[in-house]
Amino acid sequence: MDTGSPRSGERGYEKIMIQIAMTAQQFLEQRSEMPEAGQWAELHAGVPVFLELPDVDHGTAVLNLSKALAGYFQQSPIGYACFDIGLQLGHQPDTVLFPAVCLYLGGPMFAESDREITESVPALIVELASTRNRRAHLEGRILRWLQWGVREVWSIDPKALSVQIDTHSQNRELHGADGRLTSANLPGFEMTVSELFRVPDWAK
């Protein structure tokens, strides 16, 4: 008996595993039927993964940053921000991750804004370390973004009131609440870290 060749049952199992891996297109088609309408779902190597629901501090940081970026890009139209856009990093099996914010610099304005998924690499990505599983996988995500070609990754931690900045040149900076958030990729942009966590007047 030849034990070196795979048995027919094993070959069949391998085929089934390939067939059930979800593609990026299937993920998009089924996303609205997932928990929370798929807002916090990602696709990891063909498998849907559901991130923990973020808290109010997560939303506050995204809101404050989006306002600051909107004002900046109005004065300096060098790019634009995208929210809830999937970035496809892998194929067969497909991987699609959804960072909190993606910044695209140069090229046609708003070229990626209406896409649900893109393979275009942003210049800068913002992650929110706002829940247990987001914090647990943060380092791996940062490394993956930088290896993919992202120039800079901001990791906002609402619990520590801090922002960690990692760059493609392997530099890392950590700024506390009194620090100032700047970037060589965004000339002239500046805001205090504490502004990210300021609760809007209407929410008090």
So where are the chain's domains? 51-203
pLDDT higher than threshold 70 for residue 31: yes
- Asked whether 96 and 113 are in contact (CB, 8 A), the reply is no
pLDDT band at 79 (very low <50, low <70, confident <90, very high): very high
pLDDT band at 9 (very low <50, low <70, confident <90, very high): very low
Quick one: pLDDT at residue 200?
A: 81
List Cα–Cα distances, 6 to 11, 19, 194, in angstroms.
7, 19, 60
Q: What is the DSSP letter of 204?
A: -
Quick one: pLDDT at residue 53?
A: 94
pLDDT higher than threshold 90 for residue 4: no
- Assign domain 51-203 to a CATH class: alpha beta
List, in order, residues 6 or more apart from 23 with CB less than 8 Å away. Answer: 46, 94
Total-model pTM: 0.87
Out of 7-11, 30-34, 165-169, 197-201, least confident range: 7-11
- Asked whether 130 and 57 are in contact (CB, 8 A), the reply is yes
pLDDT higher than threshold 70 for residue 105: yes
Average pLDDT over residues 96-118: 96
Residue spans of beta strands (DSSP E) within the chain: 41-44, 47-50, 79-83, 86-90, 95-97, 101-105, 117-118, 124-128, 152-157, 162-167, 172-175, 180-181, 191-192
- Asked whether 129 and 81 are in contact (CB, 8 A), the reply is no
Q: What is the mean pLDDT of the chain?
A: 90
